[in-house]
Structure 1
């Protein structure tokens, strides 16, 4: 495949040749070989595929919410070429047998993937670390996030195990002792009311996140483990991570939504950490723009419409988002609020660097041909009915996004959309565990 006349994130206009699974050449005036497919990308941008290091594809145990097939279709249609699945499935991925079960279920994935291992009181690190594990995490520090919550001593044990094996640890940091139970008192109304949604934000306080982040960073420094803080939702937590020399991610919902959206979202806006004030949201976005945020990842956590319509204390936490990651950020570029290079870094280059994916996240000879073609002049409204995940809804309904026209994973076209007719097509399953992928020839040299 030869992609011609594409503008890269740094403004250079280049042709890119794909041969097999890798990028063979990046240059100008590259000649087409006999029978080679030509993709005319003039007037469009070519970006590295996004690496979403935080998804919940729900298999095993909750395939009615999402499957590896539906989740990876959404990823491919959104320009995400690698996903990292979290361990809080049923059974949780806390031992070798559970890892093997999830790995078998991932076979239909269109995109490459990593599988994180979890930490509970009955986890089996020996069998878990024998598998091609991506990282430990999302390791929960708040018991109320579910049955994966752990005590401080177990967290420290997990850090020590990970440090000994040079495996990163992704942390969900909220201190439940600082939650405000009074916020859940009184008449909160139905599932779609502003009072209901906003109460969840008042309950899971910003102070609870900041305190737990500081505790996780201190424990990481003590153990010499590589700590990556998931879904930071406050400027204060991001600043603490930066000052400690660790890394963090933020989500699109904490970048583009706030407590001001409570009335529209109701319990569909319940997630952990919760939506913050508009001032804090703006502060998080500012830190993204200025370079203090390392990664944007979705915490894609789909639930059905029926499940999210329950009352505040019964509705599950989480929102879908893997398909809208790149589109929302690219729309921010189109509006002049972010640079394209910054977006490339936080969704591709930085995740690849932080988690040791040497062949991914860049458009260079020898790198995996994980590529996305987009037209920044052609945004469209985000509509749940046009998305491909199983949830059937999105918290970003009605917002604009810039969606891909072409997505490739290691040189194979996994998604294509006609920009005129809107006709879509998907490739065949071919995703592989990134920890099983051998380094490309260019990386080994």
Structure 2
């Protein structure tokens, strides 16, 4: 390493940062305070911290400082599907949206269903990811021995597609499911839709419409009954084997009865996730958005979204995420049966929730709990998710009085589109600090330091 490169690396890493006069939203309260960062960690949280010897001062008067968002479900499409997105581009978009850490799914090409393929993704992220990262180990009907090789302290969890959704990772063998739930000690995250029920529904609509099925029937094809049947089966298996189950992207009000809010999150063995699109969009939006809001599980009635948001507030649902899953516009603009499910969301998930806050639907404290604190608790992430002295400095600064309209020109996704195009969000992310490094500031990136691999206290 040349002396010039060494000095640049040294001074970036050792940069001390003082955030002054911020409205800190943390641990169920809002306080006006300063935050001092040294060597990547939060060194001090207090009012009136001295500026002496500090390398960089950020004046945050009037702005809100939050712990960085931890997104527990994204699909960044690498390897093999990089025409849609890649770790570099999607992590960068996520950072611009206030996401400092993400957990990425295994249904790539090839899928991450062996220990070696999983570690290849970690290596790639270490080279290119601006955000902190972890990757789920994928399951198949035959790979239980590979799953058992995973170190729980270094990998966020194991993913089961109990509905095939995308890729060829459907786990539908009863003995395999019993084996995973009984033998895997790690958190088991599930996509829950009953594939047989969906296939029957699809065939009925194809008989009537062929391949060009009106997209408004997507929630009837990937029905609430299919969701509940699969989710309840997963809960039954988890209870039978005392497994640690986390059900992703709940999309129906019926499923909410499967979850308990009478015990603290740390004691729960069965938890659930809500995604922003299931709370934001409703069935009527298919008329204007078409296949651009085609997701699995499907966006259903507006009343389902309202019930899901209420379950977030009353703690039946534990975390908020995106299921960020980009496809190209060319792919999405196909007829129903050929248009893939999924869409890009990571750049705007925090803004969605802040919009709900501005509408009076949820508090800032609850947003932080569900997007930062709870993912850290649920996955037992080491020293992240809170603004605490001694913790990694993962922080996001928000201007609540600076609206931002989503346009193609300000999108950072590789696929180049968003289901939110044309909408004006009432708040804007101005700074994102990842592991003590100012990765994003007022529309500009500093990519000289990459994110870190998440570790887990298990």
For normalisation by structure 2, the TM-score amounts to 0.88
1:73 and 1:370 mapped to 2: Cα distance? 15
In structure 1, the residue matched to 2:145 is 125
Deviates more, 1:383-392 or 1:350-359: 383-392
1:326 and 1:36 mapped to 2: Cα distance? 29
Secondary structure in 2 matching 1:341: helix
Match of 1:380 among 404, 407, 416: 404
Contact 1:228 1:248 in 2 (8 A): yes
Kindly report which structure 2 residues correspond to 1:50-65, keeping only aligned pairs within 5 A, or say none.
Answer: 50-65=69-84
Deviates more, 1:96-105 or 1:360-369: 96-105
The alignment status of 1:255 with 2:279, answered yes or no, reads: yes
1:367 and 1:434 mapped to 2: Cα distance? 13
Q: CA deviation at 1:103?
A: 1.6
Kindly report which structure 2 residues correspond to 1:275-354, keeping only aligned pairs within 5 A, or say none.
Answer: 275-354=299-378
Match of 1:403 among 428, 432, 435: 428
The alignment status of 1:392 with 2:416, answered yes or no, reads: yes
2:122 and 2:211 mapped to 1: Cα distance? 42
In structure 1, the residue matched to 2:9 is none
Kindly report which structure 2 residues correspond to 1:204-219, keeping only aligned pairs within 5 A, or say none.
Answer: 204-219=222-237
In structure 1, the residue matched to 2:6 is none
In structure 1, the residue matched to 2:111 is 92
Q: Would the alpha carbon gap of residues 99 and 413 (structure 1) be closer, same or farther in structure 2, given more than 3 Å must change?
A: same
Q: Would the alpha carbon gap of residues 372 and 3 (structure 1) be closer, same or farther in structure 2, given more than 3 Å must change?
A: same
Contact 1:201 1:275 in 2 (8 A): yes
Q: CA deviation at 1:157?
A: 1.3
In structure 2, the residue matched to 1:154 is 176
The alignment status of 1:186 with 2:208, answered yes or no, reads: yes
1:216 and 1:124 mapped to 2: Cα distance? 17
1:127 and 1:236 mapped to 2: Cα distance? 32
In structure 2, the residue matched to 1:108 is 128
Secondary structure in 2 matching 1:287: helix
The alignment status of 1:31 with 2:31, answered yes or no, reads: no
In structure 2, the residue matched to 1:7 is 23
Q: CA deviation at 1:75?
A: 0.9
Deviates more, 1:341-350 or 1:26-35: 26-35
Secondary structure in 2 matching 1:413: strand
Contact 1:371 1:409 in 2 (8 A): yes
1:90 and 1:432 mapped to 2: Cα distance? 24
- Can you give the 5+ residue segments of structure 2 that lack an aligned partner in the other structure? 1-16, 262-267
Q: CA deviation at 1:126?
A: 4.0
Secondary structure in 2 matching 1:6: strand
Q: CA deviation at 1:256?
A: 0.2
Q: CA deviation at 1:101?
A: 1.9
1:46 and 1:342 mapped to 2: Cα distance? 14
Contact 2:122 2:134 in 1 (8 A): no
Cα-to-partner distance string for 1:26-69 (whole Å, 9 max, x where unaligned):
11111112242111001000000000000001111111111111
2:138 and 2:165 mapped to 1: Cα distance? 16
2:446 and 2:334 mapped to 1: Cα distance? 34
1:338 and 1:73 mapped to 2: Cα distance? 27
Contact 1:385 1:393 in 2 (8 A): no
The alignment status of 1:272 with 2:290, answered yes or no, reads: no
For normalisation by structure 1, the TM-score amounts to 0.91
2:211 and 2:176 mapped to 1: Cα distance? 39
Aligned CA-pair RMSD = 1.9
Structure 1 runs, 4 residues or longer, greater than 4 Å off: none
Q: CA deviation at 1:282?
A: 1.6
1:157 and 1:171 mapped to 2: Cα distance? 15
Cα-to-partner distance string for 1:404-445 (whole Å, 9 max, x where unaligned):
10001111011111xxxxx52333241121028xx8xxxxxx
Secondary structure in 2 matching 1:11: strand
Deviates more, 1:177-186 or 1:147-156: 177-186
Cα-to-partner distance string for 1:389-415 (whole Å, 9 max, x where unaligned):
111111122223323100011110111
Q: CA deviation at 1:127?
A: 6.8
In structure 2, the residue matched to 1:443 is none
Contact 1:51 1:83 in 2 (8 A): yes
Cα-to-partner distance string for 1:202-239 (whole Å, 9 max, x where unaligned):
10110111111111011011111110000001122122
2:211 and 2:146 mapped to 1: Cα distance? 48
Match of 1:174 among 193, 198, 206: 193
In structure 2, the residue matched to 1:420 is none
In structure 2, the residue matched to 1:360 is 384
Q: Would the alpha carbon gap of residues 170 and 12 (structure 1) be closer, same or farther in structure 2, given more than 3 Å must change?
A: same
2:397 and 2:235 mapped to 1: Cα distance? 38
2:419 and 2:338 mapped to 1: Cα distance? 19
